[in-house]
Amino acid sequence: MAPNPSAASGRPPLRILMLHGYTQSGPLFHAKSRALVKHIQKNFPSHEVLASYPTGPLKLRPSDVPGYEPSEGNGANDEDEIEAYGWFRRSNTSDPPLYQGLEDGLATVAKVLSEEGPFDGVIGFSQGAAMVGMVAGLLETGRQEAFAHFEHHDSGGAAGIPYPASFAAPDFQHPPFKFAVAYSGFRSPGPRYRGFYENPPLQTPMLHVLGSLDAVVEDSKSRALIDACAGKPEADGLVVWHPGGHFLPSQRPYLDGVVRFIREQLEKNDGKKKTEEEEDVNDMDVPF
């Protein structure tokens, strides 16, 4: 686990894992989410907000970027002149869909969790938000059993994938996230990924922020991730719509909504911890 750089300030750390979208990178997502992180820090003055921005392991070529059209005269060497990355690549030839390189993407996140954690929560955008759902599920109790169930349960022509080796490693340890925020998120499609989301459904408190004009992630795919979460997310106010497209909204009401959600989850977690500590004291056999 990482040392505590906030010890000198006397403020406890609030560690947040930030997962970028497809064709982005850690530094680019840092720039695009600056308003959000600054707003979180402003509203948690008693904490030192530490946001980590890993970059996905899949380096993309210009031709991997949706809508890319090579300009006249481009040479083969131009294929390497792009700083765009992904956590996985969706195969267009596999039915049901296959996420190529997902194991490497998850291993990259597992390494960050081990070396820089423990993290209190995670925030992701688009493909990074899909990773939010998967990683949050992997850290929950009982998820290995869910993967084992679906691995031997052929449904729709594809058995479930095995529990990711990077999260099953003997030296890997990380508690469940206290909160998760998915901007333009979606569920991994098809039966091979059911282990992330079913038996049981996702237990990690997750806020879904969606753009009503998003033309990149279909509404049905985002709703599939919402439906994978335990309880009634929409009725509980955990689904927020902004009147924009495929981006992180920086208007005050949407920043406040994320802050409010994080505060509620931290307070719930603190209350649960205090209750458990009180129960431990009550269970002690003391001579008085």
Catalytic residue among 47, 52, 214, 242: 214
From start to end of 184-266, where are the E strands?
A: 206-211, 239-242
d(CA 252, CA 167): 37
Active site residue 246: yes
* 87 neighbors 56 (Cβ within 8 angstroms): yes
d(CA 204, CA 224): 16
Give the C-alpha distances (Å, rounded to integers) separating 12 from 9, 45, 85, 116.
Answer: 8, 10, 32, 15
Catalytic residue among 33, 52, 126, 222: 126
d(CA 267, CA 87): 32
Sign of torsion, CA 33 34 35 41? Answer: positive
Catalytic residue among 104, 114, 246, 250: 246
d(CA 179, CA 16): 9
Q: Strands 239-242 and 85-86: what pairing?
A: unpaired
Q: How many angstroms separate the first and last alpha carbons of the chain?
A: 39
Of 204, 188, 264, 145, the residue nearest 17 (C-alpha): 204
Active site residue 126: yes
Q: How far is CA 234 from its chain centroid?
A: 19
Q: Is 168 left (phi over 0), alpha (psi -120 to 50) or beta?
A: alpha
Annotated catalytic residues are 126, 214, 246
